[in-house]
Amino acid sequence: MRLPEAFVAKMKKLLQEEADEFFTVYENEKASGLRVNPLKTDPGAWTKTAPFSLAPVPFCPTGFYYEPNEQPGKHPYHAAGLYYIQEPSAMAVAEALRPAPGETVLDLCAAPGGKTTQLGAMMENKGLLVANEIHPKRVKALAENVERFGLTNTVVVNETPEALAERLPGFFDKILVDAPCSGEGMFRKDEEAASFWSPAYVEECAARQRRILESAYAMLKEGGILVYSTCTFSPEENEQTVEWLLETYDDLRLLPIAKIGGIEPGRPEWTKTNRAELEYAARLWPHRLKGEGHFVAKLQKQRPTSPWRGRWAKSSAPKAAIRLYRQFEQEALRTKRDGTFVSFGAHLTVLPERCPDLSGLKIVRAGLHLGDVKKERFEPNHALALALQTEEAKHVLDLSSASREIVQYWRGETLSTGSDRGWLLVAIDGHPFAWGKEVKGTVKNFYPKGLRLI
């Protein structure tokens, strides 16, 4: 592929004797990866029966490489949320943050949702995960991926970092800033990124990253952890941005990231002050491991922060809507869901635990969309189906992934069963796939039209 001349000259100067090895990567095929969803299946056990040839990603316990001739994104398992297609080196970022169940976590630049879904799974759907994306078009993909992965502890927001910082100062235990960058690690995957690159664009990205980090710092609690990452190689956006962060906020402490599976240290010699602790940061080079490349740094805030003094979200759903949901629950489910119920028009949603009042912000998805109230009846949403375990449904139609019926249902067709059980969970090899309504021997199709197989 054709690389920008200024980029080639810059990387030769930086890498010196390593440069030839680095540029040879661009003549080879890129590595492809998927990350298994532990909320839905056991990664180790599933890979033994998976319909693809998989090899472990050494720095991500749920990550696997697949062969370039395979297409896991077109398999119904993907639609069921059993895994997420993700560039392998990107999997290292959430591993550095590794939030615990029950924590409050922010993914500040979250689309399309690879790192959000990884964080949510680590949290076991407990606590609060706010996934923000400033671009309206990209936030739609983020919300869809959160839904498909079965996340219930996640609020998807479409706001500026500054607006969030104003509302949620000192609120989060952990924050991820996977910052918009010059995308040098994307050149092999996206040649348009190479054509857009210039030294001036690198400087523009670095300035934007610093503005985003100012907001992130403001939202972090005392003792809180900030992980900063990019998919670019430029020191201006990586070591030098972290150097700026450490100089601007003298209470931030850089923490070491494990150098496993080919991950290498950051390069202090590429900074203005040659700060030795920048070796604690991590560089994932495409000529050192199977992946396109990433930079990751992990920092902890030491300074006391004023406690957040905002309001918590309160239930706002009409009693009639909750009553109709409870009726559906009794008819179709073996589990009862409690929490803070809120309505957005006809939509009934249950918020994550300890969710702040976010009124006035642009909310795209608030926790779990249970369903909609339609003329004194409750219709469950696709998100609820994907958030369940199969055993939580009273009535299940389990289809084989190799069957003609699963393809028919994915296309939006009805199925004949001969029974009359009402709402049922359509599953694929035991994993929730969608809702169906069985009436007089026919399962009416409730797979969302926008997600159907064409």
| Cα–Cα dist 216/164, whole Å | 9
From residue 171, alpha-carbon distances to 12, 254, 268 in Å are: 43, 21, 31
| Cα–Cα dist 378/322, whole Å | 9
| Cα–Cα dist 238/77, whole Å | 36
> Residue 192's beta-bridge partner residues?
none
Binding residue per annotation — 110? yes
Determine whether 76 is exposed, middle or buried from the number of CB atoms within 10 Å of its CB (0-12, 13-18, 19+): buried
Binding residue per annotation — 114? yes
Binding residue per annotation — 45? no
Binding residue per annotation — 10? no
Nearest to 254 by CA among 293, 212, 192, 296: 296
Residue in 60, 205, 231, 355 annotated catalytic: 231
Asked whether the beta carbons of 141 and 114 are under 8 A apart, the reply is no
Name residue, tokens 């690879």.
114
Give the alpha-carbon dihedral of 430, 81, 388, 129, to 10 degrees.
Answer: 160
Please count the other Cβ atoms lying within 10 Å of the Cβ belonging to residue 26: 15
Binding residue per annotation — 56? no
From residue 1, alpha-carbon distances to 24, 285, 413, 424 in Å are: 11, 18, 44, 51
Binding residue per annotation — 178? yes
Binding residue per annotation — 376? no
From residue 60, alpha-carbon distances to 15, 102, 406 in Å are: 27, 22, 31
Q: Is 231 a catalytic residue?
A: yes
Binding residue per annotation — 109? yes
The binding site for S-adenosyl-L-methionine consists of 109-115, 133, 178
The binding site consists of 109-115, 133, 178
Give me the active site residues, please: 231
